[in-house]
Amino acid sequence: MANVVLKDLRKSYGNVDVIKGVDLTINDGEFCVFVGPSGCGKSTLLRMIAGLEDITGGSLAIGDKVVNEVQPKDRGVAMVFQSYAIFPHMTVRENVEFGLTIAKATKAEKEAKVAEAARILQMEHLLDRRPSQLSGGQRQRVAIGRAIVRKPEVFLFDEPLSNLDASLRMDMRMEIGKLHKDLRATMIYVTHDQVEAMTLADKIVVLRDGIVQQIGAPMDLYHHPANLFVAGFIGSPSMNFLDVEVKGRDGDALVVSNGALDPVGVPSTLEATTGTRLKLGIRPQYLRPSTDTQAGKLHGTVTLTERLGSETVVNLRLTDDSALIAALGEDAIFDRGRNVSLSFDPTRAHLFFAE
Amino acid sequence: MASKLTQSNRAGWLFALPGFGLMVVFIILPFFFAISLSFTNQRLISPNPTEWVGLANYRQLLGMGMITLDAVTDESGQIVRDDTGAPTYPRLREYTRNNPDYPHLDGMKQWFSFGRGGEARTFVLARDLVFLTAVKNTVVFVLVVAPVQGGLALVLALLINQKLRGINIYRTIYFMPVVVSIVVVSLLWRFIYDGNNGLLNNILDFLSFGYFEPVNWLGNPKTAFGSIIGMSIWQAVGFHMVIWLSGLQTISPTLYEAAEIEGSSKWQTFRYVTWPGLRNTAILVLIVITMQAFGLFAQIDVMTNGGPLDSTQTIVFQAVERGYGKQDISGGSAISVLLFLIVLSISLFQRWLTRERT
Ligand SMILES: Nc1ncnc2c1ncn2[C@@H]1O[C@H](COP(=O)(O)OP(=O)(O)OP(=O)(O)O)[C@@H](O)[C@H]1O
Ligand SMILES: [Mg+2]
C-alpha cells in the first residue's frame, strides 16, 4: 500500500510542454480519477507515474520514495491499458500469470494466484481460452487479472472502458469500484467520461492543457467548481452559461442581469464592479420552467423536448437569442414554441469571470 | 467509365494481354515444355529425330547402386595392405564395366564409401556423379543459408528497429547489396576472394601480422563453396532484414509497455512478445530463403563455373550447363523437373510444419 505524491511534475517533448507543473497528493488506498478533454495530458501524466515516460522536471514519490529514476517494474505499479494489451498468442491463464512467469515464480504459486484472480474477476471458465475467443469485456477482465496477480501497491488504468459498449461499461465500472473496495489499493484512473469519474472517484483531478484546474471530491467539484472550465466539464448535461452584466452589489450577492434575465442577486465572492461582464452558470437540473411567463426570472421559448426516460431535457431559446437547457426529473410536457419563464435558486448558481 | 472498365471482360483481357501473354510464353509454356522434353532425347541442335525415351533421363540422373566388397587377401589369407596400412579392395571397374553378373551397376562410378566394422567396405556408386554433387551442394547451401541468413537478418532488424538518430543510414547500408545486381556483386567478390592480391587475404594478413598464409578462396575445392555461401548470405541478408522489420512493426507498442511494467527483461520480452508476434513473418522468410537458395546460379556462373573439381556445382547450374553448354536439352529439362519436385515438396513440408495448430 502506498501513497503517490507529485511535486511540480513536468513533461515536455522537445520544446512542447505537455505537463506544466502538477502538484498532487494521492493518499494510500484512494481512488483518484484524472479527467479532462482529449489531449490535455491525462495519459502522459499516468504514464509518467508508471515509468513509461521520462520525467522532465519535478519529483514523483510512491510510498514516500522518490521514483523519478526507478524502473517501471520496481515502482510497484500495475497498469491496465485502453487497448487491453493482452498477449494474443497466450491463453488467458498465461496472460494472467505473465508477471509471475517473468519473476520465475513456482508453478504452485502461479496456480494459486491465478485461481484467486480468476475468482475475484469471475473468469474461472475462461482460463484456457485464447484472447481471440473473448469479448471486449472479458479481455479487459484478463488485463485487470494480470494487474492484480502481482499485488501492486498502485493500480493505473488508462481509459480501460472506452472500447466497451455502454451497458458493459456500466457493469465493468461497478466491478472496478468493487475491486477497489476489496483490494483497498491505491488506484489512479484516467477517463474522459465524467460519469465514470463521478461514480468511481474519491478524488477527481481535472486537467486542461497540462495544468490542474481543480482537485476535490466529486460532489465538491459538482457544487463548487473553481472555474468556468471545471463547471462546464463536470455534470451532464453540462452547465448553462449566460453572459450577464453586474448591476450592483447586494450584501454577499452580486446583482446581475441580461436581456433575458431579470435582475437577480447571486451570492459570490468575485471582485466585480458594476458594468463588468460575467458568466452566470446554472445547472440544467436546477432550472424550473413554468408556463406562467411571470413566474421565473429567465424568459424564453421551448425549441425541443427530449424524453430520456429518467429525465426530460428541454431546449430553450431565450429572449436574448442565447440557448439554454433545462433537465426536468418528471415527465413534464412543454410543447415546442411555447413561451415559458424559468426560476432557479440563486444559491445554486455560479458566477465566473469570462475567460 | 470506371464501371465499364471493370465490367467489360473484353477490355480487361486486352489490358491484361501483354503481361499475361509474356507470362504464358516465358513461364507457363516452358514449364510444360520442360516436363515433356524430359521424357525425350531431344538435343538443342541435332540432325536426328527426337525419340520418346520414357524415364531414361531420370534413371541416368538418379541411378545409384551399392556394393559391399571384402578386402583383398593373399594366398595365406592375410589381408593385403597398402603403404599406409589400409586394406586394399578389388578394383570397382571390374564390377561396373561390362560385368554380366552386375548389370545394374554398369557405367557407375564411386561416389563415396564407408567401412562396415571388420574389413569389408560398402561402396556407394552413382551413374551421374556431377549431378549428385550438385544436389548435395545445393542441399548444404540451403541448410546453411536458411538459418544463418534468416537469423542474421533478424538480428539486424532488431538492431535497426530502434529510434536512434541516423538509423536510416544503417538501414540503407544493410539494404544496399540487395539493390545491386547479383552479377555485379559476384564480380566484386571475385576480387575480394582473389588468391594473390584479394582484399580478404590482405585483411587477414594485416590482422594476423603477416602470419596468415594467403588462400586462393575460389580456386581451392575446400574453400570455394564456403566462400560462395558467405558471400550469398551477405548479399541478400538486407532483403530479409526488411521483411523482419515489417513484421516487427506490426507488433503493438503497448504490448512492449505491458511487458516492461511487468518487469520483463530484454530477453524475456523477445521470447514472450517479439518472437510469437513474428510467427507469420518467420514462415515467410523461411520459405523465401529456401526458394532463393535452391535457385543458386548467378554466383556460381560468375565466380567458379562449378569448379574447382566440381566442388561448387549446383542443381540450377547443372540444368543450364547441360541444356545449353552440352546442348542436352532433355537432360537439363529433367533436372529442372526434379528441382521443381524438390522445392514443391519442401514448401509443402514447411507449410505443414508451421501450420496453425488449433
Ligand atoms: N511522443 C510525443 N511527442 C510529442 N507530443 C506528444 C507525444 N505524446 C503525446 N504528445 C502530446 O501530449 C499531449 C497530451 O497527450 P495525452 O496522450 O496525454 O493526452 P490525453 O489527455 O491522454 O488524451 P486522450 O483523452 O485523447 O487520450 C497531446 O497534445 C499530445 O499531442
Ligand atoms: Mg489518453
Tell me the per-residue pLDDT of B215-243, one tens digit each, with 9 for 90 and over. 888 888 888 889 999 999 998 898 999 99
* Count of C-beta atoms within a 10 Å radius of residue A169: 20
Ligand 2 midpoint to CA A221 (Å): 22
Q: Evaluate: CB of A353 within 6 angstroms of ligand 1.
A: no
Q: Which of A233, A253, A269 is the last residue of a domain?
A: A233
Domains, chain B, in order of start with CATH, read 65-126 (no CATH), 130-353 (1.10.3720.10)
Paired strand residues for A282: A240
Average pLDDT on A242-261 reads 90
The chain B residue lying nearest A83, using CA atoms, is: B254
DSSP state of A56: -
Paired strand residues for A157: A80, A189
What is the C-alpha end-to-end distance of chain A, expressed in Å?
41
Contacts of A89 in chain B (CB under 8 A): 276-277, 279
Which position has the higher pLDDT, A268 or A1?
Answer: A268
Average pLDDT on B323-343 reads 87
| Ligand 1 atom 16 nearest Cα | A41
CATH of the domain at A182: 3.40.50.300
Is the backbone peptide bond immediately before B308 cis, with ω within 30 degrees of 0?
yes
User: Hey, are the CB atoms on A51 and B272 less than 8 Å from each other?
Assistant: no
Q: ipTM of the predicted structure?
A: 0.84
Ligand 1 midpoint to CA A40 (Å): 7
Q: What's the pLDDT band for B304 if we cut at 50, 70, 90?
A: confident
A156 lies in the same domain as A294? no
A101 lies in the same domain as A19? yes
A224 lies in the same domain as A247? no
Q: Which of A233, A261, A280 is the last residue of a domain?
A: A233
Q: What's the pLDDT band for A1 if we cut at 50, 70, 90?
A: low
**B95, pLDDT greater than 80:** no
- Encode pLDDT of A97-145 as tens digits: 999 998 888 899 999 999 988 888 888 888 999 998 888 888 988 999 9
A224 lies in the same domain as A185? yes
A17 lies in the same domain as A107? yes
CA distance A26 to A43: 17
A219 lies in the same domain as A284? no
pLDDT at position B124 is 83
**B355, pLDDT greater than 80:** no
Q: Count CB pairs under 8 A between chains A and B.
A: 62
**B87, pLDDT greater than 80:** no
Q: Evaluate: CB of A40 within 6 angstroms of ligand 1.
A: yes
Residue B199: what are its φ and ψ, rounded to 5°?
Answer: -60, -45
Question: DSSP for A107-150?
Answer: HHHHHHHHHHHHHHHT-GGGTTS-GGGS-HHHHHHHHHHHHHHT
Q: Which of A217, A233, A249 is the last residue of a domain?
A: A233
The answer to whether B280 contacts chain A (CB < 8 Å) is no
Ligand 2 midpoint to CA B251 (Å): 20
A184 lies in the same domain as A225? yes
pLDDT at position A158 is 92
- Encode pLDDT of B206-217 as tens digits: 888 877 777 888
Length of chain B in terms of residues written: 358
**B357, pLDDT greater than 70:** no
Phi-psi region of B211 (alpha: psi -120 to 50; beta: other; left: phi over 0): alpha
Q: Which atom of ligand 1 is nearest to the CA of A36?
A: 21
A11, A54, A187, A276, B55 from A47: Cα distances, Å: 11, 9, 14, 43, 71
- Encode pLDDT of A276-320 as tens digits: 899 999 999 999 988 888 888 999 999 998 888 888 899 999 999
- Encode pLDDT of B291-302 as tens digits: 889 988 988 888
pLDDT at position B61 is 82
**B356, pLDDT greater than 90:** no
pLDDT at position A73 is 87
**B5, pLDDT greater than 60:** no
- The number of folded domains in chain A is 2
- Please give the residue range of the domain that contains residue A81: 4-233
pLDDT at position A284 is 93
Contacts of A101 in chain B (CB under 8 A): 272
A157 Cα to chain B: minimum distance (Å): 12
- Encode pLDDT of B13-42 as tens digits: 888 899 999 999 998 998 898 888 888 887
Q: What's the pLDDT band for B8 if we cut at 50, 70, 90?
A: low
A278 lies in the same domain as A215? no
| Residue B292 · residue A125 · CB < 8 Å | no
pLDDT at position A214 is 94
A138 lies in the same domain as A228? yes
Question: DSSP for A28-53?
Answer: TT-EEEEE-STTSSHHHHHHHHHTSS
CATH of the domain at A303: 2.40.50.140
A56 lies in the same domain as A199? yes
Length of chain A in terms of residues written: 355
pLDDT at position A143 is 92
Ligand nearest to the CA of A157: 2
DSSP state of B26: I
Q: What's the pLDDT band for B7 if we cut at 50, 70, 90?
A: low
Residue B160: what are its φ and ψ, rounded to 5°?
Answer: -80, -25
Q: What angle do CA B208, B210, B214 make, to 5 degrees?
A: 95
Phi-psi region of A252 (alpha: psi -120 to 50; beta: other; left: phi over 0): alpha
pLDDT at position A164 is 83
Q: Which residue has the cell 579392395?
A: B89
User: Hey, are the CB atoms on A103 and B258 less than 8 Å from each other?
Assistant: no
CA distance A90 to A102: 14
A218 lies in the same domain as A256? no
Question: DSSP for A180-244?
Answer: HHHH--EEEEE-S-HHHHHHH-SEEEEEETTEEEEEE-HHHHHHS-SSHHHHHHSSSSPPEEEEE
A93, A145, A155 from A119: Cα distances, Å: 13, 10, 19
**B144, pLDDT greater than 80:** yes
Q: What's the pLDDT band for B169 if we cut at 50, 70, 90?
A: confident
Average pLDDT on A57-84 reads 90
Interface residues from chain A to B (CB-CB < 8 Å): 50-52, 71-74, 77-79, 81, 83, 85-90, 98-99, 101-103, 146, 150
Paired strand residues for B214: none
CA distance A150 to A185: 12
| Ligand 1 atom 5 nearest Cα | A13
Contacts of A90 in chain B (CB under 8 A): 272, 276
pLDDT at position A287 is 92
**B6, pLDDT greater than 80:** no
Contacts of B279 in chain A (CB under 8 A): 89
A191 lies in the same domain as A102? yes
| Residue B63 · residue B55 · CB < 8 Å | no
